[in-house]
Structure 1
Amino acid sequence: MPAMTPDDLAGYLADLGIDSTTVTHPPLHTVEESQALRGAIEGAHTKNLFLKDKKGRLFLVVAPEDAVVELKHLHVRIGASGRLSFGKPDLLQEVLGVMPGSVTPFGLVNDHPPRVTVVLDAALMANETVNCHPLVNTATTTIRSADLLAFVRATGHEPLVIALDEAHPAG
């Protein structure tokens, strides 16, 4: 099945009863570019990491844009097998249907059957609204954090919600 388009995603969100607002903008590839061109988009903005462990398990870590995600110890906290590395662009395209620079929890709509373990940062989810790319990096979609959780579950994923900034375990 071909990956969803941003318009397909908007329809999917509407079908779920999720209100969203999307703003188009020039392509944004990094958090820094996003911050520079953001304008007045309210709510928390995300950093999204597509990761793979030593056994090939896939993870999508969704955190606030300014979060420091310690990959060196994250595998212990999320139940991964060994250290984590970034998933290759072709795997990202195959599983989430997006290109590097467009990684987003909305890509989970393309992950069927579900292969990705979703990790949502508790601090991010404490915000009223969250902003993510709608499958492309030329727009930003704003939804309520509770609706992001509902969306993730509707795609067949049960997210792990943890505080990524907590001290890592010894070892």
Structure 2
Amino acid sequence: MPKTREELFECLDSLGISHPTKEHAPVFTVAESVSLRDEIAGGHTKNLFLKDKKGAYFLVTLEENAEVNLKTIHTLIGASGRVSFGKPEALMEKLGVAPGSVTIFCAINDPQHEVTIVIDAPLLDHDVVNAHPLRNDATTSIGREDLLRFLSHTGHEPLILKVST
């Protein structure tokens, strides 16, 4: 059973990680979330759930306006051949969320470490990173170092690479 937002917050609390969260109407795209920028400081994220030809999965987290060349990203992230977007059923199975709610916090729902977490290096230029807390009706702010500590706690050592163009 996927973790709930409350269980995510309990995990962050147990690690001593501050996680202010702003409730808002559900947002499904970066364009829909632009109105929140004045209310929530820090780097805002977008996430790509990708699958390679051999069935390996990747969660790529970038700054919201970053662009990625999907025809060449596989050479950077260690994928076997070109990647495509993972299907919604696989997203739910592997990371416990529906499309529109994909977030780096989904690492908590991957105890088998079946998904490689990739962070676009420029995102970590921000002291604070903002992401959905497993649902797209809120935004949680977390310190850059705390995010990395959270990922380590989940058993995910992210690939930190410049994947944006």
Q: Partner of 2:126: helix, strand, or coil?
A: coil
Q: What is the letter of the counterpart of residue 101 of structure 1?
A: G
Between 1:31-40 and 1:60-69, the stretch displaced more is 31-40
Instruction: Note the 1:62-101 alignment, pairs <5 A.
Output: 62-101=61-100
For 1:50, the equivalent position in structure 2 comes to: 49
Distance 1:158 1:55 in 2: 21
Distance 1:71 1:151 in 2: 27
Cα distance, 1:165 vs. partner?
3.2
Between the two proteins, the alignment pairs up a number of residues equal to: 165
The reply on whether 1:129 has 2:106 as its aligned counterpart is no
Q: What is the letter of the counterpart of residue 127 of structure 2?
A: E
Between 1:20-29 and 1:157-166, the stretch displaced more is 157-166
Q: What is the letter of the counterpart of residue 165 of structure 1?
A: S
| Aligned residues: CA RMSD | 1.0
Cα distance, 1:36 vs. partner?
2.8
Cα distance, 1:114 vs. partner?
0.7
Structure 2 runs not aligned, ≥5 long:
none
Distance 1:88 1:61 in 2: 15
The alignment-based identity, stated in percent, is 53
- Residues 30 and 64 in structure 2, CA contact (< 8 A), matched pair in contact too: yes
Distance 2:112 2:26 in 1: 30
For 1:169, the equivalent position in structure 2 comes to: none
Distance change in 2, residues 1:20/1:129 (3 Å): same
- The 4+ residue runs of structure 1 with deviation greater than 6 A are none
Tell me the TM-score normalised to structure 2 length.
0.97
